[in-house]
């Protein structure tokens, strides 16, 4: 997510329960070899009905264990059950339903054109599974971001080893149970533990590695994959900006932005990270934001803190990091426009807005990953765009307004993994849109068809006809061959 490791796979350990003796590389090697053998003997040969059966079985397990999933997330970082439904269970079921409905179509070979110069031959693309895959998932959405890539891996016909985050041990326990009750270890297995487990797993020659986490750790994953020339999908993050263009409905924009920033206590890879709005509009935005937060969680700091719908930071490390951003920004001259209340005993940080934020403060350099939003103002839209393109390309960009010309200008002149107009976050739950980053915010994409493609190899197949026209161009290179070459170059190439 950020260069300061917001949801890393290699962070300091927390106490958890492992389902395998995960500190033993021999056990990882054993499972890896079992899955490799099973892949070649069974999964690589599966038909659509076989994969659909596996997906339906996984869906049934998710539905059966939903109460346990909600309880685990409540224990891990006091996530409200309704928020778990909205952000963990429903998107997972959505991915499963989409794959169940469409995997038969996805698996069909795609017929492609063949040049006239190769008259008689036919060409097609076959989607074959990559093989044994590794999914390293994060803590911020520890269920959905573990299961969504797993759904894609299964739909594409692969085996998978899942390494969940050590930061959410209760959710990891549920994942272990779900996998054990749904799949044999020859198809899907889970290894729990700290960064040493991830490191040991990446020593194995996986056919594909799917990592969700920080940009810093993403570089480590990519380097480890290079040793085996494993293909890699990196779902990272970055500072996703929100731009309010002149003439926008500020109240509606404030409602969307505050919901997106506060949900999961801001611990969302595509949460709006900082806000750019026209000069003179900051006070009005703050006024609306305060009203919206009161509507969501109650009036006053005590009401917000006591509200069971408001999440906490996942652990003390991340609490200290985010609260440190606030204190440092204020010390450098930023104004606390809303919130700023903290409680280290609960890892609690209230919804916070900062104005007049210095550009050289850490909160403007690192991905925040907390319920804090810096507000910057701009004189011209070109100034706002300039601030965005001066930073690494983000995972998401949000633009609010009614002026389609201005919105188009922002989209054309910036680059991001994805974008949403007059909305935040929800674009990632559309299985018909690819979800992924660019450069610092990630490599590759997934969800729906795009996830199936990510975990598949697009194999080209060329079938020659009994009488091949290409044979007319074989040596010896006579005058006839020369005339055929010239004819082909003129009319058919």
Characterise 389 by phi-psi region: left (phi > 0), alpha (psi -120 to 50), beta (else). Answer: alpha
Coil/strand/helix, residue 299:
coil
Say which DSSP state 474 is in.
Answer: P
Chain centroid to Cα 259, Å, comes to: 19
Full strand arrangement of the beta sheet holding 231-235: 188-190, 159-163, 132-136, 208-212, 231-235, 442-443
What tokens appear for 356 in the block?
């007049």
Residue from 135, 133, 141, 193 nearest 7 by CA: 141
Catalytic residue among 166, 187, 192, 235: 235
- Burial of residue 202 (number of CB atoms within 10 Å: 0-12, 13-18, 19+): buried
Distance separating alpha carbons of residues 441 and 461, to the nearest angstrom: 34
Residues 6+ apart with CB under 8 A from 222: 232, 234, 443
Distance separating alpha carbons of residues 367 and 270, to the nearest angstrom: 10
Beta bridge partners of 243: 276, 399
Residues 6+ apart with CB under 8 A from 301: 339, 341, 350
Catalytic residue among 88, 95, 170, 269: 269
Whether 235 is catalytic: yes
The structure tokens 């070899």 sit at 33
Characterise 124 by phi-psi region: left (phi > 0), alpha (psi -120 to 50), beta (else). Answer: beta
What tokens appear for 123 in the block?
């060409």
Say which DSSP state 353 is in.
Answer: E
Coil/strand/helix, residue 416:
coil
Q: Are 169 and 17 in contact (CB under 8 A)?
A: yes
Whether 341 is catalytic: no
Residue from 161, 152, 163, 165 nearest 58 by CA: 152
Residue from 378, 297, 369 nearest 339 by CA: 297
Q: Are 83 and 319 in contact (CB under 8 A)?
A: no
> What positions carry a catalytic annotation?
235, 269
């Amino acid at each position: 997510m950020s260069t300061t490791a917001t949801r890393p796979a290699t962070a300091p350990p927390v106490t958890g329960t492992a389902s395998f003796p995960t500190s033993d590389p021999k056990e990882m090697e054993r499972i890896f070899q079992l899955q490799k053998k099973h892949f070649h003997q069974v999964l690589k040969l599966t038909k659509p009905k076989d994969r659909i059966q596996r997906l339906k079985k996984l869906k049934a397990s998710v539905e059966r264990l939903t109460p346990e999933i909600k309880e685990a997330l409540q224990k891990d970082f006091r996530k409200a059950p309704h928020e778990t439904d909205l952000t963990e269970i429903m998107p997972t079921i959505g991915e499963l339903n989409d794959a169940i409905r469409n995997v038969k179509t996805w698996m069909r070979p795609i017929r492609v054109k063949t040049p006239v110069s190769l008259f008689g031959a036919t060409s097609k693309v076959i989607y074959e599974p990559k093989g044994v895959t590794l999914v390293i998932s994060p803590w911020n959405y520890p269920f959905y971001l573990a299961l969504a890539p797993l759904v894609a891996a299964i739909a594409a016909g692969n085996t998978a080893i899942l390494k969940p985050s050590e930061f959410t041990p209760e959710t990891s326990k549920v994942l272990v149970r779900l996998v054990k009750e749904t799949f044999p270890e020859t198809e899907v297995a889970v290894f729990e533990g700290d960064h040493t487990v991830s490191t040991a797993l990446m020593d194995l020659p996986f056919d594909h590695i799917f990592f969700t986490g920080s940009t810093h750790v993403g570089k480590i994953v990519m380097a480890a994959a290079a040793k085996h020339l494993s293909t890699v999908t990196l779902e990272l993050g970055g500072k996703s900006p929100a731009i309010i263009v002149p003439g926008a409905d500020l109240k509606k924009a404030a409602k969307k932005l505050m919901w997106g920033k506060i949900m999961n206590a801001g611990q969302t890879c595509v949460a709006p990270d900082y806000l750019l709005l026209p000069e003179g509009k900051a006070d009005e935005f703050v006024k609306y934001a305060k009203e919206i937060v009161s509507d969501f969680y109650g009036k006053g700091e005590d009401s917000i803190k006591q509200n069971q719908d408001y999440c906490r930071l996942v652990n003390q490390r991340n609490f200290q990091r985010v609260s440190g951003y606030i204190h440092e920004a204020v010390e450098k001259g930023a104004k606390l426009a809303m919130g700023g209340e903290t409680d280290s005993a609960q890892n609690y940080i209230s919804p916070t807005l900062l104005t007049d934020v210095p550009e050289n403060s850490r909160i403007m350099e690192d991905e925040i990953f907390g319920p804090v939003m810096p507000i910057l103002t701009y004189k011209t839209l070109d100034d706002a765009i300039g601030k965005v393109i001066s930073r690494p390309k983000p995972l998401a960009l949000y633009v609010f307004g009614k002026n389609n010309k201005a919105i188009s200008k922002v989209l054309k002149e910036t680059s991001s993994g994805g974008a949403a107009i007059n909305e935040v976050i929800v674009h990632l739950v559309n299985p018909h849109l690819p979800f992924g980053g660019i450069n610092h915010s990630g490599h590759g994409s997934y969800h729906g068809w795009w996830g199936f493609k990510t975990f598949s190899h697009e194999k080209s197949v060329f079938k020659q006809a009994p009488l091949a026209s290409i044979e007319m161009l074989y040596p010896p290179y006579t005058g006839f061959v020369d005339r055929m070459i010239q004819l082909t170059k003129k009319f058919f190439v």
